[in-house]
Amino acid sequence: MRYFFHIVDKYGLSPDGIGCELADQDAAILYARRIAAELAKAGEFFRFSVVLVALIAVPGASSNRNQSMAGPVAAT
């Protein structure tokens, strides 16, 4: 399945338009945690970021009705 890792911070949403093919939701959660750990290394700028995991590219799209959303998964 293709998962998308959107980042939300004090400036708003940074959507992931590419996504990543992963085996299942557990793998997606682990990947999101890695992203959050990398963001935490960036310091103050990303201190309040949240990584959202979605099965769709754009949150709020009309196709969201039939898709599940796993996030937020990890925060820095």
pLDDT (0 to 100) of residue 72: 52
Domains in the chain: boundaries: 2-75
The pLDDT of residue 27: 95
* CA 65 centroid distance within chain: 18
Number of H helices, E strands in the chain: 1, 5
Write down the pTM of the prediction: 0.69
d(CA 13, CA 55): 16
8-state DSSP, 69: B
Output the pLDDT for position 45: 66
pLDDT at 60: 54
Q: What is the mean pLDDT of each run of 10 residues along the chain (76 residues)?
A: 91 91 94 91 75 73 42 51
